[in-house]
Structure 1
Amino acid sequence: MTDSPHIALERVSFRFADGVMLFEGLSEVFDDRHTGLVGRNGVGKTVLGRLLAGDLQPSEGRVVRQGRIAYLPQHIVAAADARVVDLAGCAHWFDAMQRVMRGQPHEDDIECLEGRWDLVERLQAALHDEGLGHLDVQTPAAQLSGGECSRIALLGALQADADLLILDEPGNHLDQASRTRLGQRLASRRGGVLLISHDRDLLAGMQRIVELSASGLRSYGGGYAFYQASREQEREAAWQTLNSARVERKRGERALRQQHERQQQRMASGLRQGKDSNQAKILLGMQKNRSESSAGRVATRLQAQRQKLDEQVRDAAAALDEEREVTLHGQAAPLPPGRRVLSWRDLRLPFGSPPLPDVELFGSRRMAIVGPNGCGKSSLLALLSGRLAARSGECRVEVPWALLDQELQGLAPQESALEHLHRLAPGSAQSVLRTRLDHLGIGPDAALLPCARLSGGQRLKVALAGALAREPQPRLLMLDEPDNFIDLDSRLALERFLRAYRGALLVVSHDGAFLDALALTDRLQWTAAGWLHEVL
């Protein structure tokens, strides 16, 4: 193995504490190439990223690391006393510098600061370039939005002195300008990158794509467009193989029936001839036994051939199993055009933003709430749902509603997906709830796992399924970046569902293509002059 920076998986398997195997026998090398890691929700991408980074240990096999590695997890959880410098991963050196400046250094402070004496200036400059220049390195993280926390953690990872950078869904919670800058920074980075993402724009800049599936890891040279074209060719070939296997099985079953009928005819003919020739009963019995024994051997052979034909069809179908279409269930009754859904007047958000324009929404209106991180989009949804109090003004929601927030606070970590749906829809049969989850790609085993064990995309699907299944059925959906974490197929399914949804919608998202697919009627947008409500 080369001494250049790399991470090598050698027959790596990972098994959860309860014995459930997530994946097994993975072998691959990640080096200085910019690599995108893709796969369906729940297949194990985040676990694999943690194994590569050394944050987890494999159940079997080993991970060999050469070089300096920096890792950015999918979820940034800030401690209660965390500061900007903590989020950026620079607290160790910053605190050492503070001790030196106070004249109270620890034994190794001077040595660890070698080459990092300008750390504060560099971090402050990076914050300014990112549009976060109003923050100080000691600003408490509790004062920041989720998007701002993610952007600061990402800045720290990009500035880390690392040969290999592992980023798990770094585009989530970033506004469009920040996503564009991220793509530019990754493109100019000379070291290795492993990007775990469903973001098509970011994946387009990768040098190769590695797909994780139930079958293992498969590498595709070239960017995301090449990967898509290759996968489409593979799907077409898999369908042709399945159709050929089905035709072959039908032809084979017809031939097997004919063989069975000929065997039965030969047996009957032999017995008749024996009787007609007045053979002794003992000879007839022996002939009958021989015929039955021969028939049994033929039947066993025919059954084995039939099973082989069935296995060929099952194997061909298994290759397409991961391509099943994702489907969302839960359609509200149409809202009368004159039914008022919500309204607010003289409304000010609790964190100092300018007042919002007065709004009244009637019927099945569909409003996008857009703007940069930190402008108050999530706060508005929290205010409408009663989780926050307004600084001034009043607001009213006048129909049953459901909120899907970024943190998915409605999901209990130890509650299973099936239990979550049953709690929200106690009148629904378990078979119906299981079917809803299965159509989201959450199979019978995953449906019984604690939600804490599910991937970010799976948890979001469970939360969305619960919001749609709850009783009384919501007539207003408030969705805070629902396109985060979910794979491309699920995102397209979500677009189809929301476009056909007959209730009212409030949707926060930074993905313009996603919003364009929803047939919006209104847009509430943050501008330099404040909030602007536009009827489309």
Structure 2
Amino acid sequence: MSTDARVSCVSLSFRRPDGGEVFSGLDFSVGPGRTGLIGLNGCGKSTLIRLIAGELTPQAGTVSVRGGLGHLPQTVVLDTALRVDQVLGIAERRAALDAVESGDVRAEHFAVIGDDWDVEERSLAALDGLGLGHIGLDRAVGEMSGGECVLLRLAALLLRDPGVLLLDEPTNNLDAYARRRLYDVVDAWTGTLLVVSHDRELLERVDRIADLREGEVTWYGGNLPAYEEALAVEQEAARRTVRAAESDVQRQRRELASAHVTLARRRRYGQKMWDTKREPKVVMGQRRRAAQVSAGKHRVLHAERLAAAEERLGEAEAAVRQDEEIRIELPGTRVHPGTEVLLLRDPVPPYGPPLRGELTVRGPERIALTGRNGAGKTALLRTVAGELSPLSGEAGPLVATGYLPQRLDVLDDDASVVRNVARAAPERTENAVRARLARFLFKGAAADRPASTLSGGERFRATLAMLLADPAPRLLLLDEPTNSLDLASVRRLPEALAAYEGALIVASHDVPFLESIGITRWLRLDGELRDTTPEAVRAGR
């Protein structure tokens, strides 16, 4: 691994397919160490990662990478028919090794092997280091969970020993055990690492924070807590500057008003002197002109001072972050305590492990659904939502139900945001649909963007707006809802969900988020639903 590996972006410009500008003349450089790239949803974090990885081409500017590059995308899609050794890129060398060990000493086998005689041992060690030692090299990808596939893709990258590693939301879909394996990789990294994440524990491990906002990057030394502390100090100073600028504007307005009063008084006095003819006309004319010039200069001076003060106020206000929040107002979702909302009895989904036992959800309960990768959480939620029919048993909701899937694939990519939501609420006028979308931060032209151009977080908001359209569900199922959100949105989502008065079942590995939304019951899925605690979830038990 090269310790002088580096990424440099010079005068980078990029536009979305719909023409929307993401970057214009961006300069960005990152060297050895661990860098956390953060920013609001839609600001271009994943776009920047993909530009560096060569998956996208900028309209202008250059991207250069010194040292080998590995890229773990936000969504890992692997061919389910592949074997583990094929994903790792070692299948040909394994076959050549097997041939040589069987006595076939043709030259082409040695050419394939090169000096890599311990490729199997290194591969197994890489898998073991990520908690995948049990899967072996011959297992099919289709037999692995989504979290295991993410770690397998990471193992393939690590085997190449890149100098630069790009990670885009790497903890999405990982359970607590798998996250700890990923944290170990980050802790041990000695090259250049650039990670986009909303995972606080991961961002506590970085050396610096790059804050991408409005097409520019601001750098902060230290990890996430250090960034938040520095930003809080910076924002408090900005608010003090705004207060001082507001006071200055008020003072300048008073002085300008006073200048107008003085000018009017002088005019009245001059007119009175003229009318009474107390002095010669020439003298009075000279005095009138001198007074008018003096008063005019005085007024212009104060007007200029006011304009300068208002400009300083505008600059000060621009430095204060006023990030908008999602607002959910759904009084019609109220579920009275004691009302049965959902009944589960030994459901067997069409895929994933069967579930033994019973569960009755009553009233506005808030249930956390936890468990290891591959335990069947998504299959269970899809069965409850009616997307899958159980092979046996019961999994029937007793009220209107809404399901927010992990992949957010319910939007029509060819349609605009407003058309997608209108499709879910055919009784509402377009103005009513746009008013609803404004609460989910899609205002004006933003509501007319094609769904295909949305970032992960924007897609989450659009899907949530569609899901909560009339009639609003009284049982809401959320599958890893924080996966696509930025840090600010993860902080705000609990406030938005606080207005939801129905029952809530959330599948998530993000314990701090689950704690923040007022979970009333913690359940672990491992062949049956067991009561658990947040402490046990953190420990991976």
Which category of TM-score, normalised to the shorter sequence, fits these structures?
Answer: 0.7 to 0.9
Say how many residue pairs are matched.
Answer: 529
Matched with 1:517 is: 516
CA separation in 2, counterparts of 1:224 and 1:478?
30
The 5 A counterparts of 1:56-75 are 56-75=56-75
Alignment of 1:200-219 (within 5 A): 200-214=200-214, 216-219=216-219
Residue aligning to 2:479: 480
CA offset digits 1:329-351 (Å, max 9, x no partner): 44443212232211122312333
- Which amino acid in 2 is paired with 1:205? R
Sequence identity (%): 33
| 1:62-92 Cα deviation digits (max 9, x unpaired) | 2222111111111123347555455x4x34x
For 1:117-156, what aligned pairs fall within 5 Å after superposition? 117-133=117-133, 135=135, 137=137, 139-156=139-156
Which residue does 1:267 correspond to in 2? 267
* Pairwise CA distance, 1:113: 4.5
- 1:411 touches 1:463 (CA, 8 Å); kept in 2? yes
2:66 & 2:532 partners in 1: Cα distance? Answer: 56
Aligned to 2:495: 496
TM-fit CA distance, 1:244 = 1.2
Are 2:346 and 2:354, in contact at CA under 8 Å, matched by a contact in 1? no
Q: Distance in 1 between matches of 2:267 and 2:402?
A: 70
Go from structure 1 to structure 2 and tell me whether the alpha carbon gap of 1:96 and 1:304 turns closer, same or farther (over 3 Å shift).
farther
Describe the SS at the equivalent of 2:150.
helix
CA distance in 1, matches of 2:387, 2:268: 82
**Structure 1: which amino acid aligns with 2:473?**
P
**Are the aligned partners of 1:97 and 1:109 in contact in 2 as well (CA < 8 Å)?**
no
CA distance 1:334–1:378, shift in 2 (3 Å): same
Residue by residue over 1:32-77, the C-alpha shift from the partner in whole angstroms, topping out at 9 and shown as x without a partner, is: 1111111111111111111222222322322222111111111123
**Of 510, 527, 531, which residue of structure 1 is paired with 2:528?**
531
AA at the equivalent of 1:333: T
2:26 maps to a residue whose letter is L
* Residues 1:223 and 1:346: Cα distance change in structure 2 (over 3 Å): closer
CA distance in 2, matches of 1:328, 1:85: 47
Q: Which has the higher contact order (CA 8 A, sep 6+)?
A: 2
Question: 2:352 touches 2:374 (CA, 8 Å); kept in 1?
Answer: no
Indicate how the Cα distance of structure 1 residues 265 and 195 shifts in structure 2: closer, same or farther if over 3 A, else same. Answer: same
Is the 8 Å Cα contact of residues 259 and 299 (structure 2) preserved in structure 1? Answer: no
SS at match of 1:174: coil
Distance in 1, Cα, partners of 2:365 & 2:134: 36
TM-score normalised by L of structure 2? 0.86
Determine the C-alpha separation between the residues in 2 that align with 1:235 and 1:335. Answer: 41
The alignment partner of 1:478 has SS state of strand
Q: Is the 8 A contact 2:6 2:65 kept in 1?
A: yes
* Secondary structure of 1:321 counterpart: coil
> 1:524, 1:532 within 8 Å by CA — same for their partners in 2?
yes
Superimposed CA distance per residue, residues 85-119 of structure 1 (whole angstroms, 9 cap, x where no aligned partner): 55x4x34x424654886799999986564344544
Q: What's the TM-score once normalised by structure 1's chain length?
A: 0.87
SS at match of 2:386: coil
Give structure 2 stretches of 5+ with no counterpart. 534-541
Q: CA deviation at 1:176?
A: 0.9
Is the Cα–Cα contact under 8 Å of residues 37 and 212 in structure 1 kept in the other structure?
yes
Paired residue secondary structure (1:381): helix
Is the Cα contact below 8 Å between 1:370 and 1:377 reproduced in 2?
yes
CA deviation map 1:292-326 (0-9, x unaligned) = 99988877766554443333222222222354445
Q: 1:322 to 1:194 in 2, by over 3 A?
A: farther
In 1, distance between residues paired with 2:136 and 2:200?
33
Q: Measure the CA separation in 1 of the matches of 2:485 and 2:309.
A: 37
- Contact 2:68 2:164 survives alignment (8 Å): yes
Amino acid paired to 1:503: G
Instruction: State the match for 1:450 in structure 2.
Output: 450
Q: Does 1:162 align with 2:156?
A: no
**How has the CA–CA distance of structure 1 residues 245 and 139 changed in structure 2, closer, same or farther, with 3 Å as cutoff?**
same
The answer as to whether partners of 1:3 and 1:66 remain within 8 angstroms in 2 is no
Q: 1:185 — aligned with what?
A: 185
- Greater CA drift, 182-191 or 120-129: 120-129
> Which runs of 5 or more structure 1 residues have no equivalent in the other structure?
none
Q: Structure 2: how far apart are the matches of 1:220 and 1:370?
A: 35
Determine if the alignment matches structure 1 residue 357 to structure 2 residue 354. no
Quick check: 1:329–1:436 contact (8 Å CA) kept in 2? no
Q: 1: CA distance between counterparts of 2:362 and 2:254?
A: 62
Deviation at 1:377, TM superposition (A): 0.3
Distance in 1, matches of 2:352 and 2:415, equals 37
1:248 alignment partner in structure 2: 248
CA distance, structure 1, for counterparts of residue 360 and residue 76 of structure 2: 36
Q: Distance in 1 between matches of 2:108 and 2:236?
A: 61
In structure 2, C-alpha distance between the alignment counterparts of 1:301 and 1:131, rounded to whole Å: 72
Offset from partner CA, 1:343-371 (integer Å, 9 cap, x none): 12231233352433112212112221110
Separation in 1, partners of 2:201, 2:141: 29
Cα shift at 1:532 = 2.9
Shift of 1:436: 5.0
